[in-house]
Amino acid sequence: MAFFEMVRTALRTVMQQPVTILYPAQAAKKTPISRGHVMIDESRCISCGTCQRKCPAQAIIISKEAKTWQIDRLRCVVCNSCVDTCPVKCLFMDTQYTAPVTARSVDLIAITYVKPPKPEKKDEPAQ
């Protein structure tokens, strides 16, 4: 009996369209909760290093002296923990389709955040 069920299943799968897509020739399907790749708004980054500390794959490196933020795309596991923990929300997930990476490259981005000046304190008259 099990043999006939196996033959029936095999014939049914041969006659149907494949369930998978031909990635990377075709772009993957996107849903509202799809994750893409990590992007940064360098004008808002304050170089706090929280994303670097929370990255389980150690794909993010921040250099406060050089004011740079870099990510190794092949090392990133797209877990979203860096985006969730960023205090100024300068990291986000971009869901645009990109071609697969075939060689190791590190995205090096210069941080352009300028700390706003502190407001001047007004001297209060003594009473």
Give the pLDDT confidence of 52-106 residue by residue, as tens digits.
999 999 999 999 899 999 999 889 998 999 999 999 999 999 887 777 777 787 8
Domains in the chain and their CATH numbers?
34-114 (3.30.70.3270)
Q: Which residue has the higher pLDDT, 33 or 85?
A: 85
Report long-range pairs for 63-69 (Cβ below 8 Å, ≥24 apart). 67/110, 67/111, 67/112, 68/108, 68/109, 68/110, 68/111, 69/40, 69/42, 69/45, 69/108, 69/109, 69/111
pLDDT score for 104 = 80
